[in-house]
Amino acid sequence: MKPRPRLVLDTNIWVSAFLARGPPSEIVQMAEERLVEVFVSLEMLDEINRVLQYEKIVGILKRSRTRSSTVMGTIARLSSIVDVKAKVHVVEEDPSDNHVLACAKETGAQFIVSGDRHLLTLGRYGNARILGASAFLQIQRARRKRKN
């Protein structure tokens, strides 16, 4: 059996996955089906939890009858949680993006999936390709086609 792709999902991908159907929710479904291996750091979990408290997001979650604690529990269940020791200083404009890079470096992730322009502009960090959700899904679909 071929190893599953190892990836780090940025905060915006996790939050989007629970707010609406689309590429981010498809990636989370892939994690549910164990088609990908997802990593998240403690710092990233803090950021996701903070974003889930934004008034606009709380309202959307309420309308869908989803609680932020349920979202956090799902992320914890689908991910390997990593206590990242290394500090990374690559993105100066948005230092929280550095947590994503550090998590990818620590875990040897092959992909970082993000909607953040600071990260997408990098294109790659170490061994990890940095892609939007749609681009990541295209690559995975192409791999599955070649396999069949």
In which order are the strands placed within the sheet that holds 128-131?
A: 79-82, 37-41, 6-9, 111-113, 128-131, 124-125
pLDDT tens column, 104-148 = 999 999 999 999 999 999 999 999 999 999 999 999 988 877 776
Strands (E), the chain: 6-9, 37-41, 79-82, 111-113, 124-125, 128-131
User: Domain coordinates of the chain in residue numbers?
Assistant: 6-147
Give the pLDDT score at 1: 56
Going by pLDDT thresholds of 50, 70 and 90, the confidence category of residue 59 is confident
- Using a pLDDT cut of 70, give the percent of the chain over it: 97
Give the pLDDT score at 69: 85
CATH superfamily membership of 6-147: 5'-nuclease (3.40.50.1010)
pTM across the whole model: 0.92
- Using a pLDDT cut of 90, give the percent of the chain over it: 69
